Structure 1
């Protein structure tokens, strides 16, 4: 029942992928714990320097000899935002800095790590899986990964995106339903026009591509796993389910929010990063709805709010932190990653009988 194309290909026991949550939650301990329990752990490396990527991969390898993946954000160059858009936002954000008692920093010299250099680090480390989101890397990147025996997985929020990913050489595709927490992987249309629920998205995607589909969005337990496999998915990807677990690197105040919030507590916002992402509602998100100007594009806004998010975390104040989470919140648990996987498998078995 849990034997799928992807479990065979990756030599893993269960078709459960832990979502690669960038920005701290995916510690080496979490990635390794999921892989050791029979799933596929994934490192969210989108914000890491090439050196940090190498070091983290080495740490994961000290903790597991099982397959795991590394995920990057496709970013050729930052989208242009006009100087006055950036300046106006900088002035607006000074209010939050004042409130948090931190100085106004100079504008960042660079807004994101070099995707090419990050890719180079992943290539050199020859990991089992390379996944990406926000677009499609160049054919050279995909080819180089495959030549090293790395399975390549892209993220799609619509069937058309999945078709493009398959044409570009992706070995499998994450179907990201609108319920999913974190950044939207949309790259063909605008994010609001690509909000398809997972139940509707998976069977349509399965029917239009010949590569395996991984269901992602709102899956928190064995019922979600059983339903996804019944819809034709080859595996599931679970993020919010692991956010509050023992090995997660999420801030304690963030974990507390995840464990106490309900299914209607999230919304999609561009306030923190300039790119649509689903998270638990905060004061910062509500305030930014009233901002009269334009929000700078990703990754500019992400770099500009970084000091605010960090100061907020230091002050244990979740209201200015980005609390990415999906709509399955009420099902989140504070327990080990291994017990989450074991319970998910037990529940899925029961659902099938």
Structure 2
């Protein structure tokens, strides 16, 4: 029997250290990680995931209870931004603009806030997931110490070499290198750098691997075996897939969104702050284009913008109108397959094995 390719050997050793049969991870996508999707991935030996940004503590604990028997998983939280600056006059102009795309926006809509971060952290400790991950920054040192005391690994999502080094120094057990191709929110520590500091995964990944001593997970623009194999050859210990799972029936996203992903070319996505106030990559829809127009008011900061757009986003889902949906999409969206998630896992990993064995 021929020797195992070094890239495969590294990845399989990393997977085994977390109780996985395959080093293939579901990305923790807030609002698009129902337990059924994670369970389907976990049953094929991959890692389940929950993007818990918008979940109250009880919901975090319930999600963990729903999946824990199926295998290992991660739960992810955003590190909070500073309190946003409010501008009532500007928000009034945004409400008028958004009223052209959905229901009238109430003056208090921008007051909406995410769940309490400290309470969410306590819920993580109570849920005892094998892995807790962070995005948009680093967990405070006291919480990292408590994670370690509970035997919970911490993976830090990063988008630059400097962020990777900071995560390693703060005690992260692994870093998840997010290329600019990724769908959804850009995981930059500094929101102001999310659009000016974009680095593609194929450049970011080897630079991070060379800079840190801890394992590196690759994410962003990976949706088939070719992307996964390339990431492993560049030094990744595992690959994380987000948009590539969104067309699976277990994901349960709006049908119009799922159908649009299947038609998307890489150039059919763009970065926008128009949904939440934080930069993310979505399909280049009519609303996204209008919000970037010269006469449109600039988005408010996160989470004010998210509150202001909530009515429009909900109406778009009810009406099946992808033109106004928060339709996050990575640049490899067109490779996503409308098949069960287990088939996606097997297809990617069997293809990697064929290429690298």
Match of 2:33 in 1: 26
Match of 2:5 in 1: none
Match of 2:279 in 1: 276
Rounded Cα–Cα distance in structure 2 between residues aligned with 1:258 and 1:278: 13
Match of 1:104 in 2: 105
Match runs of 1:212-231 below 5 Å: 212-231=215-234
Match of 2:3 in 1: none
Shift of 1:76: 5.2
Rounded Cα–Cα distance in structure 2 between residues aligned with 1:300 and 1:104: 12
Rounded Cα–Cα distance in structure 2 between residues aligned with 1:185 and 1:81: 23
Rounded Cα–Cα distance in structure 2 between residues aligned with 1:85 and 1:171: 42
Shift of 1:103: 4.3
The question of 1:85 aligning with 2:90 is answered yes
The one-character-per-residue Cα deviations of 1:88-139 (angstroms, maximum 9, x if unpaired) are 2223222223xxxx34334144321111111111111101111111111211
Match runs of 1:1-353 below 5 Å: 1=8, 3-23=11-31, 25-61=32-68, 64-75=69-80, 77-97=82-102, 102-108=103-109, 109-188=111-190, 190-290=193-293, 291-353=295-357
The one-character-per-residue Cα deviations of 1:7-44 (angstroms, maximum 9, x if unpaired) are 13211111111101112x21100011111110101011
For the 8 Å contact 1:78–1:299, the answer to whether it is kept is no
Rounded Cα–Cα distance in structure 2 between residues aligned with 1:105 and 1:301: 13
Shift of 1:65: 3.4
The one-character-per-residue Cα deviations of 1:239-274 (angstroms, maximum 9, x if unpaired) are 011010121121111111111222211001111111
For the 8 Å contact 1:5–1:212, the answer to whether it is kept is no
For the 8 Å contact 2:105–2:311, the answer to whether it is kept is no
Shift of 1:85: 2.6
Shift of 1:184: 0.2
For the 8 Å contact 2:225–2:351, the answer to whether it is kept is yes
For the 8 Å contact 1:85–1:295, the answer to whether it is kept is no
For the 8 Å contact 2:26–2:242, the answer to whether it is kept is yes
Rounded Cα–Cα distance in structure 2 between residues aligned with 1:286 and 1:206: 36
For the 8 Å contact 1:129–1:150, the answer to whether it is kept is yes
| Alignment root-mean-square deviation, CA | 1.6
Shift of 1:86: 2.3
For the 8 Å contact 1:126–1:148, the answer to whether it is kept is yes
TM-score by length of 2: 0.93
The one-character-per-residue Cα deviations of 1:148-204 (angstroms, maximum 9, x if unpaired) are 111101111110011111111111111000111110001146112221111111110
Q: 1:240 to 1:331 in 2, by over 3 A?
A: same
* More divergent stretch after superposition (256-265 vs 174-183): 256-265
The one-character-per-residue Cα deviations of 1:214-260 (angstroms, maximum 9, x if unpaired) are 00111111121211111111101100110101211211111111112
Rounded Cα–Cα distance in structure 1 between residues aligned with 2:264 and 2:254: 15
